[in-house]
A and B are shown apart, each in its own frame.
Chain A
C-alpha cells in the first residue's frame, strides 16, 4: 500500500460527503472558468478590433466607459495623421443597433477611401459607390441572419440600405454586422462629425509605442491602444469584468474553503481515534499533516477537473444563444484552467489548515481517548 493509496481510501470511504464537497467546490470553479472564458473571449475580440483594416494600432477617447461610447472628433484625425511615423489613418464609427433578431448588430461607418484602400475580404459583390449614402456591405453571418443577398434591401434602424457586397473577415462581430458609408452611420447613430476610433497605419520601421505616445501628446483626450493590455484606457468594461472575475475567484476560494474545512473537520473529528492510533504506531505529526492536506488537495483537484469541465459546458451552452453566438468566439486559454487549479489549491490549503493543525496538536493519548 502506498501513501497515495491510503489517501484515496480515506476519501472513497465517505462517498456521499466527498461527492457533495466536490460538487460544491466544482460550482465555484465552474463560475471562475465560465467567467474567465467570457473575459478572455471579450479580450480576444477587443484585440481583433485593434487591428481592424490591417491597422497597426487604434486611437480612441481616453477614459471611455466602453469603446462604443468613445468619441473622437473628425478634426483630430488630421492631427493624428500629421504625427511623425504615421503613414495613414482611418476614422471608423461603431454603432450597435438591433437588427433582425440580433440586438448587438455591429454597424461600422467607414470613409469610401478607407474601405477602398483596406477592404474586408469580399465574398460577393463589392464596396459601395463613392458618394453613395444608401448602400451597405453585409458580413456572411448577417446575410444568413437577415436572409438577404447582394441587390436586396435591408432595414437598419428605419434606414433602407441596399446590399452591394458580402464580406467575411473571420471576426464574429464583424461577420454578424455590416459596413456602411461613414456619413450614413453618423446619421443613424446621431453622431455627426465624430468617429469612435482612428486606426493608424505606420510607416515602415516606425515604433508603435513611440508613435502612440507622440499622438497622445499631440492630441489631448485620446489614448493609443497598442495592445489588448492597453484596452482599459478606453473600455472600462473589460477592466470591470476582470475585477468581477477576481472577486468571484476570491469568493469561490472563501466559500469553497468553508466547504472543504467543514468536510475535513468532520473527517478529522470522526477519525480522531484513528489519528491517535497512527501517532501511537509512530506516525509523525508531519506525516499526519501531509495526509490531511493531501486528502484536501485530492478533493479540490478533482473539483477543479469537474468544475473546469462544467465551465466549458456552461460556455458552450451560453453560445447556443444567438445573440451571444454573434458576439463571442470562446477562448479556452491555458490561463483560465491554471487559475481554476490555483483557486482549487488555495481552497484545499485554506480548508485543511485548521483540521490539520488540530490533529497534530493532540497527543496520541488524547486522540485515543476521544470517543
Chain B
C-alpha cells in the first residue's frame, strides 16, 4: 500500500518505502510496510487509533530508533546509510513530544539552549537565541522559570522553542496537544501553524484528535501498522477495505 503526496511540483521532504518495525523479537509488528511521502513545506497529520504505529513511524523519521526493513529518505538523505544521525537529529529535524520532555532542573531558556550545544554557537549566542525563540513562542519573561513553574501549555511551547533551536527545516510533533486542555492545545496548534507559515517548515504531526488533524494540509490515516488513507493516495481506501491480512 502506498500513500502518495499531492502532485504540487514541490520536492518530497520525507519519502518512506516499505517500512517495517517490530518489537519483542518480532512478536509485535508495529509498522508493517509503510509507504509515504511528505512534501517540503507541507503540514501532514498522521492519525489513527492507539497502537496503530503512528508514534513509532514518527520516531523512526526522527531517527530515534532503527527500522527492521524499508527506507526513510529525508531531504535526500537515506537514514539507514546516514553515518551521523546525531547531526541529523540536531540540525534537520525538531521534535516535540506528547510529554514536553523538558529537563526539570534547567530553566526554560536553558532547556531551549540544550540542542544548541551541537551547533557552533557560543554561550552568548545560545542565550540570545533562546531568548529570541521564547519570545517567538510567547514566553517573554519566563526564561528563568523551571518547567515546574510553567503550565502544561507553556511547557509545550518551551518544547517547541527547543525543537526549533537549530533552525531545522522539519518539525515532528507527537501528539503535542494530547495532554493539554482545549485552550492550551488550540494555542499550541496555532503556534505550530504560524511557525510553519513564517519559517516554511515541513510539519508532520501525529494525533488521534480529529479537530487537530483538520488543521493539516493532508491527513494520513493509519491502521494496524499501515497507511490506509491519505487524501490523494489512489487505491489506499480500496486496499484498506480489502482488509489485507497482517503477516
- Using CB atoms and an 8 Å cutoff, list the residues of chain A in contact with chain B: 1-3, 6, 9-10, 13, 273-274, 277-285, 287, 363-365, 368
CB closest residue in chain B, given A281: B115
**In whole angstroms, what is the CA distance A10 to B87 when docked?**
24
Chain A residues within an 8 Å CB radius of B88: 282
Q: At the interface, yes or no: B156 with Cβ under 8 Å from chain A?
A: no
**In whole angstroms, what is the CA distance A274 to B62 when docked?**
17
**In whole angstroms, what is the CA distance A285 to B89 when docked?**
12
Q: Interface code B47-70, partner A: CB below 8 Å = 1, 0 otherwise?
A: 000000000000100111110000
- Dominant SS at the A interface? helix
CB closest residue in chain A, given B93: A282
**In whole angstroms, what is the CA distance A284 to B117 when docked?**
10
Interface size class of B (residues with CB under 8 A): 20 to 34
Q: Which 10 A-B pairs have the closest CB atoms?
A: A282-B90, A365-B65, A281-B115, A284-B86, A282-B89, A364-B64, A365-B64, A282-B118, A1-B110, A2-B123
| Partner of B86 from A2, A273, A274, A283 at Cβ < 8 Å | A283
| Partner of A281 from B66, B87, B95 at Cβ < 8 Å | B95
- The answer to whether A281 touches B64, judged by C-beta atoms less than 8 angstroms apart, is no
| Partner of B64 from A2, A274, A283, A368 at Cβ < 8 Å | A368
- The answer to whether B101 touches A277, judged by C-beta atoms less than 8 angstroms apart, is yes
Chain A residues within an 8 Å CB radius of B95: 280-281
- The answer to whether B66 touches A363, judged by C-beta atoms less than 8 angstroms apart, is yes
**In whole angstroms, what is the CA distance A10 to B106 when docked?**
9
Q: At the interface, yes or no: B15 with Cβ under 8 Å from chain A?
A: no
A-B CB pair tally, cutoff 8 Å: 71
Q: Interface code B82-110, partner A: CB below 8 Å = 1, 0 otherwise?
A: 00001111110001000001010110011
| Partner of B118 from A9, A13, A283, A368 at Cβ < 8 Å | A283
- Dominant SS at the B interface? helix
- Using CB atoms and an 8 Å cutoff, list the residues of chain B in contact with chain A: 59, 62-66, 86-91, 95, 101, 103, 105-106, 109-110, 113-115, 117-118, 123, 126-127, 162-163, 165-166
Nearest chain A CB to B25 CB, angstrom units: 15
Chain A residues within an 8 Å CB radius of B113: 1
Chain A residues within an 8 Å CB radius of B115: 281-283
- The answer to whether A282 touches B91, judged by C-beta atoms less than 8 angstroms apart, is yes
**In whole angstroms, what is the CA distance A363 to B127 when docked?**
29
CB closest residue in chain A, given B105: A13
Chain A residues within an 8 Å CB radius of B90: 281-283
**In whole angstroms, what is the CA distance A342 to B62 when docked?**
42
| Partner of A282 from B66, B87, B106, B126 at Cβ < 8 Å | B87
Chain A residues within an 8 Å CB radius of B59: 365
> Besides A3-B117, A6-B106, A368-B101, 7 other CB < 8 A contacts?
A1-B126, A2-B123, A281-B118, A281-B163, A283-B114, A284-B87, A365-B65
**In whole angstroms, what is the CA distance A100 to B163 when docked?**
79
**In whole angstroms, what is the CA distance A13 to B104 when docked?**
11
- The answer to whether B166 touches A1, judged by C-beta atoms less than 8 angstroms apart, is no
- The answer to whether B117 touches A287, judged by C-beta atoms less than 8 angstroms apart, is yes
| Partner of A283 from B63, B106, B110, B117 at Cβ < 8 Å | B117
- The answer to whether B103 touches A280, judged by C-beta atoms less than 8 angstroms apart, is no
